[in-house]
Amino acid sequence: MERETLIVVGLGNPGREYAHTRHNVGFEVTDILAERWHAPLNRRKLGGMLAEVNVDGKRVVLCQPQTFMNLSGECVIQLLNWYKCPLENLMVIYDDIDLPVARLRVRKSGSAGTHNGMRSIIANVPGQNFPRIRVGVGAKPQGWDLADWVLSHFQIREEQDAMKDAFSRAADCVEDWIKNGVDHAMTNYNK
């Protein structure tokens, strides 16, 4: 019997100018996982930077799409097709302006909300029934343009520390999902 394949996609924008911005939290979390698993994201394939690793007896494909946020779905559908992976074996990690800074929210399915990367994924894949981890980056301050806000950096030290902790917890959550499934991860990380 072939072992199960799981795909973990962290959303963000490629390029140094976007590194460590609010919109790149998915890249931050997948960087932590790549480091933990000794699986460098250095294979360019299917529109993303990939690493393949064995975790708890499962093949796990780690991906950072290189398509830019608004076209993330183009990379994700290629991954699902190439690995012949069912939708429920896809985990997407992304930023959420509707959650307080550093708050995690794990869901089995749902809409894209205001997130363009998730809109692109849902437009490209067959449905919305895939797990996701939303990482809160805080609401846009009054007077800010939304694009400017999500492409801004975490300026305040307390915010930076809180986000570092959130990235680490999100990585823990991915590992929990791989080992124990989405219900277990939701129970543990939606506190």
Could you list the active site residues? 23
Could you list the beta-strand ranges (E) of 17-130.
Answer: 43-45, 48-55, 58-65, 90-96, 104-107
The structure tokens 């480091």 sit at 35
Helix residue ranges per DSSP H, 37-181: 72-82, 116-124, 146-150, 157-180
Q: What does the alpha-carbon distance between residue 54 and residue 67 come to, in Å, rounded to a whole number?
A: 26
